[in-house]
Amino acid sequence: MNAVVLLGPPGAGKGTVSEVLVGKGYTHVSTGDLLREQIRLETTLGLEAKQRMDQGKFVPDDVVVGMIRDLLQSSDANANFLFDGFPRTLVQAEKLDELIEALSGTLEEVVLLQCPDEVIVERLSGRRTCSKCGMVYHIKYNPAVQEGKCDIEGCELMQRPDDNSETIKKRLDVYKEQTAPLITYYEAKGLIHPIDAAKSIAEVRLAVLARIG
Ligand code: AP5
DSSP assignments along 200-211, one per residue:
-HHHHHHHHHHH
123 lines ligand 1 (CB under 6 A): yes
192 and 139 assigned to the same domain: no
Q: Identify the band that residue 126 occupies on the pLDDT scale cut at 50, 70 and 90.
A: very high
Cα 173 to averaged position of ligand 1 atoms, centre (Å):
14
User: What's the pTM value of the predicted model, to 2 decimals?
Assistant: 0.96
Do the domain assignments include residue 169? no
Whether the Cβ atoms of residue 149 and residue 160 lie closer than 8 Å to each other: no
Task: Please pick, among 50, 95, 127, 205, the residue that the annotation labels catalytic.
Answer: 127
pLDDT in tens, 139-172: 999 999 999 999 999 999 999 999 999 999 999 9
Do the domain assignments include residue 168? no
Task: Please pick, among 50, 123, 171, 205, the residue that the annotation labels catalytic.
Answer: 171
* DSSP letter (8 states) at residue 150: -
79 and 69 assigned to the same domain: yes
120 and 83 assigned to the same domain: no
> Cα 47–52–56 angle (5° rounding)?
140
Atom of ligand 1 nearest to the CA of 6: 14
Q: Is 127 helix (H, G, I), strand (E, B) or coil?
A: strand
Residue 213 has pLDDT above 80, yes or no: no
pLDDT in tens, 166-212: 999 999 999 999 999 999 999 999 999 999 999 999 999 999 999 98
86 lines ligand 1 (CB under 6 A): yes
CATH number of residue 83's parent domain: 3.40.50.300
Q: Identify the band that residue 131 occupies on the pLDDT scale cut at 50, 70 and 90.
A: confident
User: Looking at residue 193, what is its pLDDT?
Assistant: 97
Domains held by the chain: number: 2
Which residue range forms the structural domain that includes residue 156? 116-163
User: Looking at residue 137, what is its pLDDT?
Assistant: 96
Atom of ligand 1 nearest to the CA of 10: 7
Atom of ligand 1 nearest to the CA of 126: 44
Distance of alpha carbon 164 from alpha carbon 162, whole angstroms: 6
Q: Identify the band that residue 130 occupies on the pLDDT scale cut at 50, 70 and 90.
A: very high
Residue 100 has pLDDT above 80, yes or no: yes
